[in-house]
A and B are shown apart, each in its own frame.
Chain A
Amino acid sequence: MTSTHTPADGVVASGVSIFADALDAQAVPVSRVDWRPPMEGTADDLATVATDPLRVDANRRAAEAMMAVQAMIVDVAPASEVLGLEKGQFLHAGPPLAWENASGPMRGALMGAAALEALVDDPEDAEALFASGQSVSLEPCHHRSAVGPMAGVVSPSMWMWVLEDPTDGRRTYCSLNEGLGKVLRYGAYGPEVLERLRWMSDVLGPLLSKAVRGSEPVNATSILGQMLQMGDEAHNRNRAGTLMLMRDLAPAMVNSGADAADIAKVFEFMGGNDHFFLNVAMPACKLALDAARGIEGSTMVVAMARNGTEFGIQTAGTGDEWFTGPAQIADGLYLGGYGPDDANPDIGDSAITETAGIGGFAMATAPAIVRFVGGSVPDALATTRRMREITLAENDRWPIPVLDFMGTPTGIDVTKVCRTGVLPQINTGMAGRVAGTGQVGAGLVTPPAEIFPKALAALAARTRARQS
């Protein structure tokens, strides 16, 4: 026979076991697929998209475009300057959201930001302001090339990381990380929260800006690759990444001529906040994923984001359309006396890390945090391998040592999620349900399953429209 591949090399069998058994009896190597029916109602759409002649090439291009991006840290500057954000304009995490649907932590963060921008004196007064909708507007970070962890609220005076793809000048943005506990992104807005934010705008932002401008551009993509080898998965563990960032920025910061006490305070702040690098990892992931946007026929997910009420995804092949469903409550461990009743549904743009193949997808490389849901190291290895079942590629730039340097599973394929029912695994923090509470725990969460069939239906509709 003239086929390059022959059954003598082995046969993959999906379906009834007797035929696989019959091959065993003929001493032919058989790989048995653990096939199960796809998500309900997806059979026709899956067949349509599977036979779309654009799909394979579109997905290959999308994955390659994403993995080719090198994200360079090029600036730190106020949102008013780099995003053109004006007084009264607020960005938030996740898909579009109206104030009346906003959850407690989202409201708390917006109220705190309104006070930070001096729209109100007391954050509590901001409720009426946002309810009225007068002179304030809300917009997703993603619509401004930005990402924000947890509530992800950005207001004009906040300083932003600016990351750039040197090949085409595209940029992405993210605010500076405040630390853990009672912080704005978890919905807290007390005086200590606002005081810290003011210090970040007055001291931290300008000093980081000097350091970044005074250094060679730092390659965030490269730091991500290194930290994955040092026990960070770059979503819930950013310890090594934070220290590497400090290492890279310290000389220029020291040479900046700034007050030594301020520099010491900045180092203390960065060194005391293991999540500091998260706000660099996120825009680096977004910069990579945005390179895959707008590829007709691609079924790859380019954004997963939650606004505390809804979980939304966007795909490479469906433009800027969001496919949304109710955000879930994470399964995890709680701080202090908090329990599941205190937790807000899933919130934040930080699932951009999983979208890019790290975070929960790289769980195997971060055994230190596998106990979030009482998991074990074998569970972590299994999680990363399981994510490979729903992704298009392995990112060789981000290898995982314990999996024999397998690249992180990268490029979530909507069709594979619908076929297997395996949902993306996201590592996340948990915000308190009540505005002003702050963080109540951390754990694991998945998207609501129904958003994947929704995205698939839109992809299938486009395929049919192209073929008619």
Chain B
Amino acid sequence: MTTSTDHVALRPGAYADSVALLQVSKDVAAVDGVLAAQVAMATELNREVIAQMGFELPDTTPNDMIVAIRLEDPSRLDAALAAVDAALAAASRRSDGEASVEDPPRTIGRALERGDAGLALVSVPGQYAAVEAMDALDAGRDVMIFSDNVPVEQEVALKRVAAERDLLVMGPDCGTAMVDGIGLGFANTVQPGPVGIVAASGTGCQQLMCLLDQAGVGMTAALGVGGRDLSVDVAALSTKQAMKRLDADEATELIVVVSKPPAEEVAADLRAFAEQLSTPVHFALLGKGQPDLTAAAEGVLAALGREVPEWPRWGEPAATPTAGQLRGLFAGGTLCDEAMLLTQDRLGPVWSNIPLDPAYALGSDLQADGPLMIDFGDDGMTSGRAHPMIDPSLRLDYLARTSRDASTSVILMDVVLGHGADADPAATAAPAIRDAIAAARKAGRDLAVVVACVGTQGDPQQLDRQAAALADAGAEVFLSNAQATRRALSLMGAAA
């Protein structure tokens, strides 16, 4: 049985509120050698509490502060009293915390209540995107949903609500948009002008915008609607809403709808819808038997009565390559599609991770004996890593491997510029292309590299600067993906 020492003292006139004193008591009780401690104002209740702890109390008035400490050993008293003083000082000290800075909003709904933003941009994982997007619609704002893998029934539900409230849902899986001159997602900087684009295809939209900008034709807006909008399930809900928006916009003289060919019933419905609008609508539908994106841009120029320019190209024509295979390495899905469509007419079916014909789906080794094109931006390739427009490493690794493959003859690539994309893609792509050509050369082969560089002079990366750097590395560079593909095919034809 150890003995203990009680220390009870009064501090007449001292005061702290009861909550502060509970904290003081807690701090003092935690001091080494202190068995129990209570520092309290001498109210009836507190006297009772302290008495119950076994302390003997002198007479007090309610304005006295009682310090009651039970020690293992009297020698610990000084340390304990020092702790009382320190804790009381701490209790009366103003908080030294930062002047309170408000925490960031946790939901889009709160962010829209706290500020006056005009639009919401959602890029959370797809299973959570609808809830965030709904916040924007509830606040009467348009929303762009970059997220993919949003369940289609949620997409339909969102778009129905938006249509009822005359709001616009851009997406899900919407990679690009331009509203009021502001680029959203992966977006090129283009001049203002008479064309309003409605796009169910991200890189298809970017290609069209960049070609038109090159031809001196600007845009009022580019409204993405997501790749599924023209499906039977979604029934063009956002496409119609976007067309209505552009129709009501006085600056928009021509509406261009960019999409893969929709289901027949959706297409018929959309054509009928377009006829009710006062603004002419030009459909640029991409697919087998349809004009490519460059031809679509030229169709838009014709509809506006503008001349079709010579589309720019950079670099010396490549040396005739050693015979072999065509390899396409894409970051843009629609650009890959377009290249495959053009290629299959000349070289037959193209192997791909997004094949036109499911029979030509690539295995996980991404190897094939025949023309091959990979979309490195496809969901299957991006899980756990950034999009190739942001992080080039996977695609450039593949470039290096392919260049050492004796069967590779021509490499076709895209480089997509704009806000959101790699700040200087040529900085990594140009050396990789130079090394690829040199590696083939060293092995006694001639390798041709053709690049579609989709961008504008106004882009942060600057089209000219990027294209020149890629050309300097030995690539032939085109603004038009269709022209780049045709050039690659002609090099294949000339190969020996």
Contacts and interface: CB of A to CB of B under 8 A. Distances in A.
B45 interface: yes
Contacts of A379: 97
Nearest to A236: B19
Q: What bracket does the count of chain B residues touching chain A fall in? A: 35 or more
Given A25-B419, A333-B23, A33 B111 contact: yes
B187 A22 contact: yes
Contact of A46 (B17, B26, B118, B131): B131
B141 interface: yes
Interface in B95-149: 95, 97-100, 102-112, 114-125, 127-128, 130-132, 134, 136, 138, 140-142, 146-147
A11 B119 contact: yes
Contacts of A5: 117-119, 140-142
Given A12-B112, A378-B99, 14 more contacts: A4-B140, A9-B117, A13-B120, A14-B111, A29-B117, A31-B117, A32-B104, A34-B103, A43-B131, A50-B134, A333-B26, A336-B53, A337-B53, A388-B110
Contacts of A128: none
Interface stretch (B176-184, B275-283, B398-406, B467-475): B176-184
Contact of A181 (B22, B48, B182): B48
Given A7-B182, A18-B390, A19-B121, A51 B26 contact: no
Contact of B106 (A7, A33, A334): A33
A35 interface: yes
Contacts, number: 226
B123 A50 contact: no
B138 A9 contact: no
What 10 pairs between A and B have smallest CB-CB spacing? Answer: A15-B123, A333-B22, A376-B95, A5-B118, A9-B118, A10-B117, A22-B419, A51-B157, A378-B97, A336-B49
B269 interface: no
Contacts of B161: 51, 53
26 contacts: A1-B179, A1-B249, A6-B118, A7-B119, A7-B182, A8-B118, A11-B118, A11-B121, A14-B120, A14-B124, A15-B146, A19-B121, A23-B419, A25-B460, A33-B132, A35-B107, A37-B125, A43-B131, A47-B131, A50-B130, A51-B154, A336-B49, A336-B53, A376-B97, A378-B98, A416-B107
B116 A11 contact: no
Interface string B145-160: 0110001001001100
B179 A7 contact: yes
- Candidate in A8, A16, A47, A441 with the most chain B CB atoms within 10 angstroms: A47
Nearest to B51: A336
- Candidate in B26, B121, B123 with the most chain A CB atoms within 10 angstroms: B121
A238 B53 CA distance: 28
A371 B38 CA distance: 16
A325 to B, nearest CB: 22
B107 A26 contact: no
Q: Is the interface of A mostly helix, strand, loop or mixed?
A: mixed
A397 interface: no
Contacts of B50: 336
A389 B105 contact: yes
A34 to B, nearest CB: 4
Interface of A: 1-16, 18-20, 22-23, 25-26, 28-29, 31-38, 43, 46-47, 50-51, 53, 56, 180-181, 333-337, 368-372, 374, 376-379, 381-382, 385-386, 388-389, 415-416, 419-420, 422, 441-442
A459 to B, nearest CB: 13
B352 to A, nearest CB: 26
Contact of A15 (B103, B105, B122): B122
A31 B111 contact: yes
Contacts of A337: 36, 38, 52-53
A378 B115 contact: no
Contacts of B109: 416
Contacts of B249: 1-2
A7 B95 contact: no
B245 A2 contact: yes
B20 interface: yes
B223 to A, nearest CB: 9
